[in-house]
Amino acid sequence: MKKIVILALHLGYGGVERTISSLANSLVKDDTYQVEIVSIYRIYDNPVYDIDPKVKITYLLPKSLSPNRYEWKKALNSLEPVNFVKESVKGVKILYKRRKKMANYIKKSDADVIISTRVMLNELLSEYGKDNVLKIGWEHNHHHNNMRYATDVVRSAKNLDYLVLVSKDLKRFYNKKLFTSKCQCVYIPNALETIPKKRSPLTSSRFISVGRLAPEKGYFDLLNIYVDLKNKGCNWKLDIVGDGDERSRLEKFIKENNLTDDVILHGFKSSKEIEELMQKASIYLMTSYTESFGIVLLEAMSNGLPCIAFDSAEGAKEIITSGSDGYLIKHRNFKAMEKKILDLTNDLEKRKELGKNGRKKVKAYMSDNVKESWKKIIEKK
């Protein structure tokens, strides 16, 4: 039986963490694979996303040594020198231990295949992975023209066997950068584990958007667009699912603009709860500045929702076929997005047509299909 290890930073909330869980679940269904997830941090008692009991989970650090960035920032902003020094020392200790623990694990691992999911982990796998181990980097982030980040990815991957990219655009980009190295670039999209049996009837007057409440997700742009829609007579409600650093500022914006009856910040929800909310909505909206893949668009399509997104979210361009299963808005043009949204709110038949096409499309992204792409490189060991 071939042993596969997936290296993770943590198993809390996040797109990378969701795809790690999905891949582990998919691979462990094959009786020829033994799968283990090795997570540096144990932020919660249990993984946020469902993981098959057959997958072994190993945590390298205890909960007491979880990241303390929030506490460090609070001490800095509150001008508390004693706490600031305390949290700074703790932060250095955590960074030292996470590197040491992961390096030791990789050196002693008896795995046949090790899959790394971040630049820092790529570096450790390159440095400490045994010669007979198949070393795979799995890059989820789009560089978004940040060449410093892209250079870090290239440097970290040069001594790996493969670099898996979640979009065709990223594969083309890194293929050129790694052309002279031993590392081969491979495109494998993220996967959906299931397609819901039910789908939205698309008859309710509700928008939905799901994601981390962070600047790159563009939620203030979404709220400004929503205010303009409301001023033009659109009486649809907006559900926003997710949490993050910008929540308090978004709550303030909602209150100051008298949107408390129209916009609901749901916070984190389980996959089942998100599915239920999507089936009560009629249009999915994405205002992200950048998305490497956008698995949430596939989830929306699987629930029968037409999707509208700015094309600045690079991953959206690989998922949405504009005019067929949703719309891509160029140049972050607010007016163009508002017009397309209004047109769609007034056209139930068009919503049904787009939703039907999107639901057909997601079948190609089912985990069983995507697993075959992973097996092609795993079996080369």
Going from the N-terminus, what domains does the chain have, and what CATH number goes with each?
2-193+366-378 (3.40.50.2000), 206-364 (3.40.50.2000)
pLDDT tens by residue, 131-171: 999 999 999 988 888 999 999 999 999 999 999 999 988 99
Mean pLDDT of all residues in 101-120: 97
- The whole-model pTM stands at 0.88
Q: What pLDDT is attached to residue 299?
A: 95
Reply yes or no on whether the pLDDT at 185 is more than 80. yes
Mean pLDDT of all residues in 38-43: 96
If pLDDT is split at 50, 70 and 90, which confidence band does 300 have?
very high
Reply yes or no on whether the pLDDT at 283 is more than 90. yes
Angle between helix axes 348-361 and 334-345 (nearest 10 degrees) is 100
Q: What pLDDT is attached to residue 290?
A: 87
Reply yes or no on whether the pLDDT at 340 is more than 80. yes
pLDDT tens by residue, 240-268: 999 988 999 999 999 999 999 999 999 98
Reply yes or no on whether the pLDDT at 304 is more than 90. yes
Mean pLDDT of all residues in 310-326: 93
| CB-side neighbour CA atoms (13 Å) of 273 | 11
Tell me what percent of the residues of the chain surpass a pLDDT of 90. Answer: 80
pLDDT tens by residue, 223-239: 999 999 999 999 999 99
Name 318's Cβ contacts closer than 8 Å, sequence gap at least 6: 167, 168, 169, 189, 293, 294
Name 256's Cβ contacts closer than 8 Å, sequence gap at least 6: none
Q: What pLDDT is attached to residue 347?
A: 98
Q: What pLDDT is attached to residue 83?
A: 85
Strand partners for 35: 4
Mean pLDDT of all residues in 280-284: 98
Mean pLDDT of all residues in 29-33: 90
CB count, 10 Å around CB of 295? 23
CB count, 10 Å around CB of 219? 25
Among 380, 330, 324, 333, residue whose Cα is nearest residue 355:
324
Reply yes or no on whether the pLDDT at 175 is more than 80. yes
Q: What pLDDT is attached to residue 378?
A: 95
